[in-house]
Amino acid sequence: MTAITIDLNGVRIADDVEPRQSLADFLRERCGLTATHLGCEHGACGACTVVVDGKATRSCLSLAVMSDGRVVLTLEGLRNDQIMDILRRQFHECHALQCGFCTPGMLIMARDILQRHQSPDANTVRHELSGQICRCTGYANIVKAVVAAGKDLAAAQAHALAGALAEAEALIQAEVQARVDDQVRAQEDAPPKPGTE
Amino acid sequence: MADHPPADGWIGASLLRKEDARHLLGHGMFVADIRMPGLQDIAFVRSQMAHANVRQIVKPPEAAASVFTLADLGPIAILEAGPELAAHRHSPYPPLADGRVRYAGQTIAACMAPTRAEAEDLADRVTAELEELPAVVDCVAAMLPDSPRLFEHWPDNAFITGNVTEGDPPALQAAPVRLRRKFRMNRQATVSLECRGVLAYWDHRNDELTVHLSTQGGHVMRIAIAQSLGLPEHKVRVIAPDVGGGFGGKNRIMPEDIAVCAIAMKVGHPVRWIEDRREHLIASVHARDHTYDLTISADRDGTLLGVEGDVYIDAGAYSLWPTGSFMEASMASRNLTGPYRIRHLKLNTFTVATNKAPMGPYRGVARPGACFAIERLVDEVARELGREPFDLRRQNIVTAAELPYRTAAGMRLDTGDYVQALDTARDMIDLPAIRKRQEVGESDGRAIGVGFAFYTEQSGHGTVEWVKRKSRVVPGYESANARMLPDGSVIIHVGVQNHGQGHETTLSQIAAHELSIDPSRIAIKYGDTATAPFGFGTFASRSIVFSGGAVARASRMLIDKLKRIGAHLMQTDPANVRIEGGEVHGPSGSVGFAEIAYAANVRQEHLPAGMDPLLDVTATYEPTETGGVFAYGTHAAVVAVDPDTGTLEILDYVVTEDCGTMINPLIVDGQVQGGIAQGIGTALYEEIPYDEIGQPLATTFGDYMVPCAPEIPTVRMAHIVTPAQATEYGVKGLGEGGAIAPPAVLANAVADAFRKIGASFNETPLTPRRVSEAVARARRARDDAA
């Protein structure tokens, strides 16, 4: 057994694991986090994809001991994630899932794609999804959902940026106004210059 | 994807799915997600050899109690599988080997440990001494007199042979055009992304064996489990939780299911077996594996006359309960005339046992092979006559005026407009533009080809059809139990098994339509034999026809009682009331369902005198025509092929299809696109070859190619809606159709690309090697001729 400490979905987890145990088995069997699915256990289908130190990672090909000291996120830990919120809505509206088994891995990979590509087009999404198997949907609606989510995210970011700019501008204007006011006040408060009367 | 006009009711509304939320949040509950105190894992010792006598199984002494052989499972009844025909030979398939193994991967012993890893460690320490026997790997050679046998007491290796003779086949000898072609559709796996899985334990409180099983039909599986273990059925409960795809592969009882249940009866804690991908590829349901040697006859004017020849089904080592693989041969031969006016048929069929994993159903069952064969033959005849294949197709296809039409093989094609489906596909793909493009040629040296294929999809077939097939189980109806609760909300239990099809959504739309309430007030429940009425499950494109019909009938029974109670509460006659917006309306007012349901459930004093309380009804349903209703469609594709490497790109793929009335067009489109993706897998990628000693050569996703997003185009769809006459709302089943035509359409497209050199593409999958070799062969033949 090997002692490991993982920051898992924002919680510090300390455990002793067999060196041979995969991260996927650790998450599912030891931590009870069953959103992470196993579709092949040899790194080909992508159903087990999780986030390790910010990178989409096959948890079936990583050992739990390799995650020692790292930050791991599973779908359970992305409940309040802005990108995941958008992806979930678009997957629902675009009918991008049928049996649902590939869905957690698809969502994690889609989030990874949107973090690396600003509003990706369909070809980019197809290429980037080439390591994820879905047996039900024929991919069309998954691609559509990720593209739509990318647009939504860009719009949300633009909106946030515009908001931030407006806020910044307002702050600057307030600052400028305050200085002007100070100067005016200083002039008003200043004693009359001698010899002006 | 198609554009759909907005619907003005729940029938035809693209309602977003109720199933989505739990999966999007990671809260799906698949068998492997179930946690139980004391749960232990099973790993199987499997045969390394294709065919062998099991001399001895040596358990590690320190862990002997955790290793189970057949003798340790207790008395097990081996169920006879396959059609109920005396001519069909019994192939006893024990849950663990009984002294003989007949395919590489067959279960020999089961090993139990607290984790799967430890169970696999234990399995490694079990020694199975095997005495190798000659393997039978070629289903045609298997029928030669000197072939080794799988079952000594059989006179040859055929599970069953048969023949279909219709019309006047001898007259075909004189036909002006006679072309003989051989076709192969190779063996593949079904590849649900969730592999199989079973978790079982004895529930002491309920005094029953509880079995969580990833299955397409729990009630039918319960029959097999109870019979195998000698338990009465009321002591077996089968629960199918979320099921991660099935496609036919989870619709048979499998040896691991019985072994795990038997072990659960022996030990005092839950046990489970979760199939891994390697096990899935070598020892789950295999599919396709058809070989055709056919001669088509035609007149000089292109009129197709008849088809003769042999159909071989490589069925693997055993028949899987209940039905075996007999239907492959009968469905292949009965669908071989396709939608064409072919009146003469003479086919010999051979369903052959080989030392390979047993064959089972897979989306489309037999029809992808039949469609591949007949649609390739149509193109070959067109080439022979110098005709445009599309025109020959159109010349021979049954017209709308001829429907209903009984084909030479006895299928009753019911409603639709096949010519319109063809013409629409031709216009969408723009056939003239492709022909022009081909004349110009491609600057990158690739060859462009266009292909068409037409399919019919028998769906919603009932008693008559299954009895004709001598099916051991006759899935001729479905059932629904509808309950209105005191607050007016509704729970409907059904016997089908959603595993991606969206039944929670579509069946609630049907009930919402009948009950005039919102689908959010209706819950569809399934997947537990303790609560669901008896039903057969989800397969054979049957659920919307059968279960949809049962839900409609049950809802109407509720309505009838709601009206009677509502009329009584309003002191009027039931004849004077109508239903609207979740209320019963009378001449001078209305009463809501909640008030009526409250009375029916908990305030019986408000009911009419003598009326039984409760709003709780169970309905069964079978369509009025039980030979099935036929969805159909035309697929057309444009491909670009590199002649030297054989690599292929799908440039365009269009579908015109008619599944009758669509309950939820969003879900219909999803089924079509998903089916086509699987069909493209069959056509281009997926194959489990066996070597000459019977070793499977595709055992991981490294060598078994499942298409991913870059390989699957977004299909352009057009829908024709011709309501069926025999079903509720005019629906037809459509789950399988997408998977039927892609091998035919893509092979036709590749053949079209190389039509000038006469290369033939008659074997799937069309791998780069097969394509480039076919091109090279044709080039050599051309050069030799020159």
Q: Of A37, A59, A79, which marks where a domain is finished?
A: A79
Q: Which segments of B386-520 does DSSP mark as H helices, in order?
A: 389-396, 418-429, 431-440, 463-468, 503-515
φ and ψ at B101, to 5 degrees? -115, 140
Q: A23 and A119 in one domain?
A: no
Question: How confident is the model at residue A197, as a pLDDT?
Answer: 43
Residue from B133, B161, B162 nearest B149 by CA: B133
The predicted pLDDT at position A186 comes to: 83
pTM attached to this predicted model: 0.96
Domain end marker among A79, A109, A131: A79
Q: Which has the higher per-residue pLDDT, B612 or B466?
A: B612
Would you put residue B729 in left (φ > 0), alpha (ψ -120 to 50) or beta?
left
Asked if A92 lies within 8 A of B675 by C-beta distance, the reply is: no
Distance CA B60, CA B700 (A): 29
CA geometry: angle at B52 spanning B51 and B56, to 5°?
150
- Counting as low any pLDDT under 70, the low residues of chain A are 191-197
Mark whether A71 and A22 lie in a shared domain. yes
Per-residue pLDDT tens for B334-349? 999 999 999 999 999 9
What proportion of chain B, given as a percentage, has pLDDT over 70?
A: 100
CA distance A1 to A186: 74
Q: Which amino acid is at B261?
A: C
Label each residue of B206-275 as H, E or C: CCEEEEEECCCCHHHHHHHHHHHHCCCHHHEEEECCCCCCCCCCCCCCCHHHHHHHHHHHHCCCCEEEEC
Instruction: Kindly state whether residue A97 falls inside one of the protein's structural domains.
Output: yes
pLDDT in tens, B602-624: 999 999 999 999 999 999 999 98
Is 90 exceeded by the pLDDT of residue B245?
A: yes
Q: Position of tokens 């994630």?
A: A81
Residue A117 lies in a domain: yes
**A95 lies within 8 A of chain B by CB:** yes
The radius of gyration of chain B's CA atoms, rounded to the nearest angstrom, is 28
Check residue B171 and give its pLDDT: 96
Contacts of A85 in chain B (CB under 8 A): none
A185 near B CB under 8 A: no
Does B659 score more than 80 pLDDT?
A: yes
A184: Cβ contacts below 8 Å, ≥ 6 apart: none
User: Would you state the pLDDT for residue B786?
Assistant: 82
* pLDDT given at position A196: 47
Q: What's the whole-number mean pLDDT along residues B136-140?
A: 97
CB contact under 8 A, B117 and A99: no
Please report the pLDDT score of residue B2 as a whole number.
67
Q: How many domains does chain A have?
A: 2
Nearest to B670 among A93, A129, A141 (CB): A141
Residue B49 phi/psi, 5-degree rounding, is -110, 155
- Please tell me whether residues A42 and A84 are part of one structural domain: no
CA pseudo-torsion sign A102, A108, A112, A115: positive
Give contacts of A34 with chain B, Cβ < 8 Å: 26, 29-30, 32-33
**Which class for A183: exposed (0-12), middle (13-18), buried (19 or more C-beta within 10 A)?**
exposed
- Beta-bridge mates of residue A3: A16
Domain limits for position A93? 80-190
List the single residue in B20, B193, B500 with the smallest CB-CB distance to A45.
B193
Q: Contact B421/B634 with Cβ under 8 angstroms?
A: yes
Instruction: Calculate mean pLDDT across residues B706-712.
Output: 98
CA B678 to chain CA mean position, Å: 11
| Most A CBs within 10 Å, among B3, B14, B24, B124, to test the A interface | B24
Q: Is B65 exposed, middle or buried (0-12, 13-18, 19+ CB in 10 A)?
A: exposed
Judge whether residue B73 has pLDDT over 90.
yes
CB-count exposure of residue B140 (10 Å: 0-12, 13-18, 19+): middle
Tokens 């289903």 belong to B139
Positions of E strands within B464-554: 478-484, 490-494, 522-525
CB B368 within 8 Å of CB B187: no
CA B415 – CA B615 distance, rounded (Å): 37
Chain A environment of B117 (Cβ under 8 Å): 18, 20-21, 25
Give domain status of residue A196, yes or no: no
The pLDDT score that the predictor gives to residue B325 is 85
Could you tell me the CATH number of the domain that includes residue A92?
A: 1.10.150.120
DSSP E strands: which ranges in B279-343? 286-298, 304-314
Tell me, yes or no, whether A195 lies in a domain. Answer: no
Tens-place pLDDT, residues B246-267: 999 999 999 999 999 999 999 9
| Average pLDDT taken over every residue of chain B | 97
Tally of CB atoms within 10 A around B595: 18
Q: What is the pLDDT of residues B2-20, one digit of tens each?
A: 677 777 799 999 999 999 9
| DSSP-derived secondary structure letter, B490 | E
Q: What is the mean pLDDT of residues B461-471?
A: 88
Which of A79, A98, A121 is the endpoint of a domain? A79
pLDDT value for A195: 52
Amino acid at B315: A
Q: Is residue A197 part of a domain?
A: no
Give which of A21, A98, A103 to mutate to test B binding, by max B Cβ within 10 Å.
Answer: A98
Please check whether residue A148 lies inside any domain of the structure: yes
The CATH number given to whatever domain includes residue A44 is 3.10.20.30
Q: Which residue of A has its CA nearest to B117?
A: A21
A150 within some domain:
yes
Tell me the ipTM for this assembly: 0.97
- Find the mean pLDDT for residues B760-779: 97
> B37-59 in b/e burial notation, b at 16+ Cβ within 10 A?
eebbbbbbbbbebbbbebeebeb
